[in-house]
Structure 1
Amino acid sequence: MSIKVLYRGKEIELPENKLKAKELLRRLGLSPLSSLVIKNNEVISEDDYVEEGDNIRVINAISGGV
């Protein structure tokens, strides 16, 4: 059993079958302040769970401007 995560074009496999999104980000070395977890095409909060079989992507939030 494992959770598969797509991040920066690579599939990463974690050995758990259920994790909170904030724990997922921590394991990837990312901050919830600068990264978003997308589960089944919806952005979720850091306290939501991801599970084996979910379609999970992590993207970095980029800000900037003049």
Structure 2
Amino acid sequence: MDFPHIDTSLCTGCQTCGTNCPIEGLWQFVDNKAVFNDDRKADCIHCNTCKDNCPAGAITFSE
């Protein structure tokens, strides 16, 4: 199963990934960077909404 990976060198902390994600609480923001909540990764529905909406192209999916 693929899960989001954030390239922190590209992430601007805009929070678009968390705002658009249909599952509340999957995204956290630490030091102005997106962090995928690994404790809740089983809740991810792999819809690619975070990746598709990231203006910086900081999110990819990998196993």
TM-score, with structure 1 as normaliser? 0.28
Give me the TM-score of the superposition, normalised by structure 2: 0.29
- Higher-Rg member (1/2): 1
Between Structure 1 and Structure 2, the one with more strand by share is: 1
